[in-house]
A and B are shown apart, each in its own frame.
Chain A
Amino acid sequence: MSGYRLTAAGAQIDRSETVGFTVDGRQYFGFKGDTLASALMANGVSIVGRSFKYHRPRGLFAAGVEEPNALFTVLRDGSREPNVRATEIEIYEGLSVASQNRWPSLDFDLMAVNQLGGKALAAGFYYKTFMGPVFGPLKGTRFWMFCEHFIRRAAGLGRAGTTPDKSRYERVNAFCDELVVGGGKAGIDRALETAAGGKRVILCEQTAHALTDKQVEELSNKGVTVLKRTTVWGWYDDNVMAAVERVTDQMAKPGDNLARHRYWIIRAGHVALCTGALERPLIFPGNDRPGIMLASAAETHLQQFGTVPGKRIAVFTNNDSSYVTAVALQAAGAKITAIIDVRSKIGSNATALATKANAKHLAGQAVIRTHGKGALTGIDVAPFNAETNTASGASERIECDALLVSGGWSPVIHLASQKGAKPQWDSKLQAFCAPTPASDWSVHGAAAGAFEFADGLSDQPAPMLHINHPGKAFVDMQHDVTVDDVRLAHREGFISVEHLKRYTTLGMATDQGKTSNVPGLAIMADALGKDIPEVGTTRFRAPYTAVSIGAIAAERFGDLLPKRLTPMHERHLSLGARMYEAGLWMRPESYNQPGETVEQAYVREARAVRTQVGMVDVSTLGKIDIQGPDSAQFLNRLYTNGFAKLPVGKARYGLMLREDGFAMDDGTTWRLGEDHFLMTTTTANAALVMQHMEKMLAVHWPNMKVHLTSVTDQWAGVAVAGPNSRDVLTACVSETAVDNTALPFMGIVYGQIEGIPVMICRLSFSGELAYEVYCGANHGEALWDALLKAGQPWHITPYGLEALGTLRIEKGHVTGAEIDGRTTARDLHLDWMLSSKKPFVGSAMMDREGLADENRWTLVGVKSIDGQKLKGGSHLVAGETAEEPGRSLGHLTAICYSPEMKTYIALALLENGKNHIGKRLFTTDPVRTGAHIPVEITSHHMVDPKGTRMHG
């Protein structure tokens, strides 16, 4: 193609501002307002891409989202965005792009040898060559493994970057009475009309250039919210529409204030599709040569950018619309050498336009061949037989450097199709149209099949889209699918439209077949001897065009992910804690002293709790305030053990089951008043337990007077644990005694610590004498400081999750690792908590045969015999060697080094666990470490099984 820029024309460009950009490092210049495509055309660049399989040179084909060939990788700030259409890249000073799928360069691509073996890469090539059993060294799957490296290098589109995307993205929630999709004439008219009725209207236009500033101003003045560079790409139930706004892609220096893309979620009362129509190509041998493009693309380039694709332009059409383009180009100074029309009878108005364009008018003829080394230099034309879609007889050569093709128009009904509206074939327009809309959506303008061509021109194309003639004719240019591929699919029985698509990959590239779907169907219909609607069409899926993953993730990753911090967070950091993400919570893992490993730190911390005193932040425990006259009865039905008679001022450990009889969660619940309880749940299950209780009250026991409120964040909690814990509290608590009489095991008292009101419950997760001290969360940091200070004489040691885990493993206390949804109360040796005096949630189902089976996996302790470090998740097996471990008998749920046992220990769920106690098994970890370690199975109560310490 020898494209160039006219000295006038181009509504979109600002000729006073020159913009420099580079392609593969080579400097070019365009004008402000240019797309990369128009700037390249103005620079006379003809080859803009290499095809997917055959590495054929390709040129600009379209001017919008349907462009199949001109894909580039945009390079910016060290990151790369592949497969961006040049027709959508707005150039800015310093824009840098790389061409794709070529080696070493676009103009000279060594991979183009693929063309020589053209037949070998026909449809189904990969399936036939690389699938199936292995016969010899070069067949089947093994052959694929051998060839994959080379094929992957040769075939494909752009390469994604590997560096993190530094851009920021955001989401916007919007609401309107009507969303108008498309900012063409139909869209503007519809938006103004609806807005005039006092309705809230949002209009989205995907391009930068379709709407002029004046039009935007007029729309805005009428109250329409106008979003330019915004593609509505998905239609979801109840008119929830997904759109992406490209905010900074066209800016040379976007700065940090703006998000790169905005993901708009628009809830629309009504959706008006004013999405226009896309022109279809005609399919003929050599139709992919650079210089051949859609007539509509030439029209857009002329009107918006003042660029023209060639010096000598031919037009090949099956309809009237491209005659207008020919006249416009001629008027702008281009030479139209010929208009080739497959129709033998052409209306007088079109004929007049051909004359006006000063073009040779060839009716009833078709292009059967193209010439040119690289770019187009000429075409061969021969008489066309409309009955057989063939051309025969003497051919005539026409010299041209650009060929504009038009196969008629297809309304853009992708969004309606996403919604589930089945496209209907219009035989006059030769196009799929949207069905009759419902009250909450409508279609307007060209999208509705109302093509408003100039007076007297017909909107009906000839019913043909391809010429049957020998030679490579491309249907899907992006995936290199030819007419022969479609015919091969037909011969091999892949005749349903779904099979055709998958077998040939027609329409499955990044353009999703915007220019190729209907021609592909036409060829299949021709092969089958059927009409196009009988072949059918596939349902379009979101997105309409590619959407950045960043936009969809929007604020849901990186530093914008929500985190929960306890009131003592800053104190943990200043004590050098390694923080650990437990769900959304940030919790101290261990407080490492200089030079300490995590293991050394937690062992030191756990030992301090066993020998002196430690303190741990337990603010993350789920806390639910329960009030109402039926609260006690409610808890009694919910928990497996009795709660009705729990005295005020006492706490009780409780276990909840699911309706199916499996364990759900455990925790302590404190009776603060006759009708007032405070429930604690495990950190991870707080939301689940809340929902469970709300459902029981709302749905099953609606007459119970119980109110539930999440108060997790209201209370800061510190557990003080160890033989000296009472001494610490005695030293700092006022307004109440904390001795064994005033505060017995599971008792609750109220007092103050340094003036802070506190509630103290004596309970123990560590197995030591221990207390949980709660205060209002805003006092949490002060409470932490006060306890740390008060504990100094006893060397109070802050401990983290690792030490907490160690202490509970030693005691055989369960957490979510053991209450994993597959374990019952009996499996966890909590059957002592199953009341036989009352029904409770899960009681009817917990005694089922399968849940009482003695071979079930049950909780046991595990001790490393030779001191090797155990690994959580390892399996327990009887086999002596890693090579022959035997079947899995269970797995380790939690491991630690036990300072008390002086070896690595674990909790495990083990088949018929009771029978294994005292016996030797092995832990095996074939996938990760390969370690095979001898262990002794013990009771899960490994330290102080009688519980004398915490009751002391």
Chain B
Amino acid sequence: MRINCPHCGQRDLAEFTYHGDADQAAKRPEAAHENSAEWNSWVYDRTNTAGQHRELWQHTGGCRSFMIVTRDTVTHAIISVEKVGP
């Protein structure tokens, strides 16, 4: 698999680290001390998507930027790569 890093261009999968579901990551609850159901769900609950999945990847073997890779988990086709942050 190759990922088109927004900064570095096409690179091998081996240069990247997967950081989980991007939509899930975006929903991190407000900082709070108490254990809430919301936090529990955020840490543990995941969908197991067959089809298009928005994934958080980091180019650890290059520029170390984060990106959201929309990938089809059935065909492995990458539909889009968006950079995270400014």
Q: Determine whether A691 belongs to the interface, using a CB cutoff of 8 Å to chain B.
A: yes
A237 CA / B1 CA spacing, docked (Å): 5
Q: A699-B56, A839-B33, A845-B40 are in contact. Are A236 and B1 (CB under 8 A)?
A: yes
Q: Determine whether A147 belongs to the interface, using a CB cutoff of 8 Å to chain B.
A: no
Q: Determine whether B8 belongs to the interface, using a CB cutoff of 8 Å to chain A.
A: no
Contact between B39 and A845 (Cβ–Cβ < 8 Å)? yes
Q: Determine whether B43 belongs to the interface, using a CB cutoff of 8 Å to chain A.
A: yes
Q: A698-B66, A845-B40 are in contact. Are A839 and B32 (CB under 8 A)?
A: yes
Contact between A660 and B43 (Cβ–Cβ < 8 Å)? yes
A-side interface size class: 20 to 34
Q: Determine whether A659 belongs to the interface, using a CB cutoff of 8 Å to chain B.
A: yes
Q: Determine whether B48 belongs to the interface, using a CB cutoff of 8 Å to chain A.
A: no
Contact between A698 and B33 (Cβ–Cβ < 8 Å)? no
Nearest residue in A to B22 (C-beta to C-beta)? A699
A700 CA / B29 CA spacing, docked (Å): 10
Q: Which residues of B contact A695 (CB under 8 A)?
A: 19, 58, 66
Instruction: Please indicate which of the listed interface residues A660, A695, A700 has the most CB atoms of chain B within 10 Å of its own CB.
Output: A695
Residues 238-297 of A contacting B (Cβ, < 8 Å):
238, 240, 265, 267
Contact between B31 and A848 (Cβ–Cβ < 8 Å)? no
Contact between B58 and A691 (Cβ–Cβ < 8 Å)? yes
Q: Determine whether A855 belongs to the interface, using a CB cutoff of 8 Å to chain B.
A: no
Chain A positions 59 through 101: 1 when the CB is less than 8 Å from some CB of chain B, otherwise 0: 0000000000000000000000000000000000000000000
What's the minimum C-beta distance from A944 to chain B, rounded to whole angstroms?
A: 34
Q: Which residues of A contact B64 (CB under 8 A)?
A: 694
Q: Determine whether B35 belongs to the interface, using a CB cutoff of 8 Å to chain A.
A: yes
Q: Determine whether B17 belongs to the interface, using a CB cutoff of 8 Å to chain A.
A: yes
Q: Which residues of A contact B44 (CB under 8 A)?
A: 660
Residues 1-60 of B contacting A (Cβ, < 8 Å):
1-2, 10, 12-13, 17, 19, 25-26, 28-29, 31-36, 39-40, 43-44, 56, 58, 60
Q: Which residues of A contact B76 (CB under 8 A)?
A: 237
Q: Which of A240, A637, A699, A836 contacts B31 (CB 8 A)?
A: A637
A839 CA / B35 CA spacing, docked (Å): 11
Nearest residue in B to A844 (C-beta to C-beta)? B39
Q: Determine whether A847 belongs to the interface, using a CB cutoff of 8 Å to chain B.
A: yes
A237 CA / B2 CA spacing, docked (Å): 8
Q: Which residues of B contact A845 (CB under 8 A)?
A: 35, 39-40, 43
Contact between B85 and A698 (Cβ–Cβ < 8 Å)? yes
Q: Which residues of B contact A265 (CB under 8 A)?
A: 12
Nearest residue in B to A692 (C-beta to C-beta)? B19
A699 CA / B35 CA spacing, docked (Å): 22
Contact between B86 and A698 (Cβ–Cβ < 8 Å)? no
What's the minimum C-beta distance from A587 to chain B, rounded to whole angstroms?
A: 24
Contact between A699 and B34 (Cβ–Cβ < 8 Å)? no
Q: Which of B2, B32, B35, B84 contacts A698 (CB 8 A)?
A: B84
Q: Determine whether A843 belongs to the interface, using a CB cutoff of 8 Å to chain B.
A: yes
Q: Determine whether A702 belongs to the interface, using a CB cutoff of 8 Å to chain B.
A: yes
What's the minimum C-beta distance from A639 to chain B, rounded to whole angstroms?
A: 14
A809 CA / B58 CA spacing, docked (Å): 37
Contact between B35 and A238 (Cβ–Cβ < 8 Å)? no
Q: Which residues of A contact B31 (CB under 8 A)?
A: 637, 839-840, 843-844
Interface residues of A (CB under 8 A from B): 236-238, 240, 265, 267, 420, 637, 659-660, 691, 694-695, 698-700, 702, 836, 839-840, 843-845, 847-848
Nearest 3 A/B pairs, CB to CB: A839-B31, A698-B66, A237-B1
Apart from A659-B43, A695-B58, A843-B32, what are 13 other A-B pairs with CB-CB below 8 Å? A236-B1, A237-B76, A240-B1, A240-B12, A265-B12, A699-B56, A843-B33, A844-B29, A844-B33, A844-B34, A844-B35, A844-B36, A845-B40
